[in-house]
Each structure stands twice: as structure tokens, then as C-alpha cells.
Structure 1
Amino acid sequence: MGRNLQSVGRLRPVDLARGSGLSTQAIRNYEEAGILPAADRTPHGYRVYTPLHAQALRAFLALLPGHGHQTATSIMRAVNQDAVGEAFRLIDESHAQLLDDRRTLQAVENALRELAFTAAPEPDTAPEPAAVSRPGGTFIGPLAVKLGIRPATLRKWERAGLVRPRRDPRTGYRVYDAADVRDARLTHQLRRGGYLLEQIAPLIAQVRAAGGLEPLETALCDWHGRLSARGRAMLTGAAELEAYLREREPVMA
């Protein structure tokens, strides 16, 4: 790297490790992964780090919460290879993913509100004929009519794991219980919002894990909190990365 080590200061691996709560092996691993710039060596082969390495480590650790280990590693590796444009592209992709996650959350909340509205019983509504439904469940035909879709669509959703009807032991017909109807309604609302089946599957899984729609409200609040935390972490990571880029400027000149 061509730096004057006497002028910029010397740091041992243990100095970086103690300052960050890491092991000296982790510091060496980070250097080998390109997260830290290559260290100079003493005549005896010992690594010699500088404040620039300390700032690189701070930048990486600050990037982790907002971008994840893989992306944070790729960002630091790109910077250390003087491919700053690539680093910015990776950061942009993380921000785009965060925005997409916010839109997904909004779509889920909208779908749940719509679901609560459409599932509310209307006054003076006559019960369905016994020929198309039975106690404890609904057959595929009446459910498809209620949702305004084709039975083939419900079968497609079943293959994707979005609904899990049981089979009537006597007839072999599909029977959708209350949870299946809930999942079908939620899937229908999200499909209307333009979401793909593979995007809907993890959301349905969250509803099931929460035990229904009402407990999901707590999960949605937690989801909001996680997204906000990621956003703030990205700001912190950006500040530390900018500080590292400023320190690198004399080195790159």
C-alpha cells in the first residue's frame, strides 16, 4: 500500500480485536476476505495495521445490521479494490430491497383490512345451501364463487401451499375449513395487488405461525420496527463508510 507506517501509526491485530470485541483470528479472516485492506508486514512477517484498518473495520461492523453479512462484505471488498461505483450499486440494491419490503408490508396491511371488511357478515344474508357446504367446511365450488375465481385457481393455490384443504373421507372432495378460507381470501387480495404466488407463500406462513389474523397485528408491528431499525442502521453504516472513503483518499491519490 506504500504508506509510511511511522507517520500513520501502528496497530497490532490484537489492538483491532480489543477495540471491536472480536478475536484476532476474526481480524485476520476479515483481511483475507477483503473486508480490510491488505496489511503491511514487519521484517519478521507480523501484520501491521493502521488507523485506516480500524476505520475499515468500523465501517464494516456498521454496515452489517442494515445490509447483512454478504452484502456488507461485498461493499467493503469493492471499496478496497477501488471499485467504489460497485459499492454504491450494492448499497442502492439494499435500499431498493428495503423499499420493496415496506411495500410488501403495506400490501399485507391493506389486504388484511380488505379481508376484515369482506369477511364481515352482512345482515339478513341467507345461509348457503347444504348442498354446497357442510358443517366444519366449504367445498371448492362455493368458495370459488364467493371469491369470484375459478376452482382451478384454488387448486393452483393448493399446489403452491397457499391453501391446505382436507379431503372428505366419503367423497374425496376438497373441504376448506375457516383457516383455509382465511388463507384463500388473503391470497386473493394479495394477487389482486400484483403479488406472485412465491411472494405470497411466506406471508401466509406468517399468518399461520401467528395463529390467525388478530395475532398477526403484533407481528406486523414488529415488522414495522425491524424495517425502521434497518433504515436507521443503513444511515449509520453510510456515515461510517463515508468516513472510511475520506480516509482512503490520500492512499488512493
Structure 2
Amino acid sequence: MPQSSKNHRKPRSNYYDRRRHNRRLTLTEEQKKQFDDLLLKIDLTFENRKLLIQAFTHSSYVNEHRIYSFQDNERLEFLGDAVLELAVSQFLYKKFNSMSEGEMTKLRASIVCEPSLARFAEELEFGELVLLGKGEEMTGGRNRPALLADVFESFIGALYLDQGLEAVYKFLSQTMYPKINDGAFSHMMDFKSQLQEFIQRDNLGQIQYVIVQEIGPAHNREFVSEVQLNESKLGVGSGRSKKEAEQHAAQQALIKLSEKKDK
């Protein structure tokens, strides 16, 4: 006896499930305005706006709205991680030509780690634009450091695909590189030892550190240190402790000596 024709039909539920999972992401007018405001704030344009939106699309949003699974930001995060490593590596290589491979690796790790990237994302208010599922939103996902760090990497990946490495370098020169120059990550490095080695290797003379200023009340004091080479000012730095101020001064001295050596 021939089988009933209904046995050859695909279940209707599977068909409709596929249709639900093939929806494309759409934004409200308010969400579109938020992205416009972000680009205005950071002075950027995107040729492919879909890449920008994808960078801020969390997997929980994709799952909840049953849209294309590849529209979340996880692939962009993977790419952005690699692009960031290259961009930061190049900056450190050019900026600190007296720094060893091991020291650069340590410093880079402190810059591209989750807490640091999350802080950069917070300063840019990236969290406000992330497209989240309701469950992730209710559990505070918008402010989770891991999520924010991922979004920062995704944004870098999207920017790289849209405009290339030069655009990434330009963006980081406005957001990340100045903080490296200002010593925001100097707590991870012993710049005083590096400076001492630099001076001794080239027989440049003697260095000493002098606290030239103390600012603020005793419970919230800031120290300003000056590092001198043969009694001439070589670098100045500030910090909440004398040691921190000296580290920042040594870092600035290293930058100055490196730039002088390049000329």
C-alpha cells in the first residue's frame, strides 16, 4: 500500500522556525539616532553601517529576536582582538625603542586585557548602545566588564573591515595611545630600572629623582617628581605616591631619550 502523501511533507513547524530565524535586524529611530550621535562624538563615519550595528549586537539579542545567528558581534570580536594586538604592538615598538620584547609583551597585556578595554568602552559610553536580550539586560549585562571589553574589540574589528588599519590607528591615537603616553599603565612596568639601564648602557651620566611639588591635603596628596640627568631636568611625572610619581617621570624621560635617539 502506498504511503500517505502527508508523510512526505516537511513539518510545518520547522518551516516557520527557519523563517523566524531568518529575520534581519532592524533598528528603531531612537536607536539609529544613538548610533549617529556616537559617530559624531568620536568623529567617524562608516561606509557599511551594518558592520557598526553588528559590533554592538550581543548574541542574547540575536537569540531572543530570532534573527540571523551570524549577525551578532562574536566574529567581529575575534577579528578585533587580533587587530588590537597588532596596533598596540606597533605603537609600543615605535614609542619605546629601548624596551625589551618581554617588557613590551607585559605592557601590551596590561593594555589589551579585559579591565582596560572595559574602561575604554565605558569612557566612550559603548554600553548604552549595545543591543541586548531582555534576560541579559535584567541581569546587568550592559555594565559587565567582559561584555564591554568584547564590544570594544568588536568595534575595532568593524572599523578595520570598513576602513582599514589606518583608521584603527587614528581612532586609537585619540582614545588609547594618549593614556599609554600619560603613564596610565606604568604600574605594570618598572620604568626606573629601564631608565637606569639606558643611562648606564650609553654612559650618559648620573640620574637622580627630586620631589618638586606636593599638591592637595594630606589625605589626598599628589606628588610631582622630576628626574634629572647630570642635574638637568629630563622628565617630570605625578602620582598619588612618591614612587608612582618617580615611575611616571622615568617613563617621560625614556620617551624623550628614545625620540632624541631616533633623530
Instruction: Calculate the TM-score normalised by the size of structure 1.
Output: 0.28
Structure possessing the higher radius of gyration over alpha carbons: 1
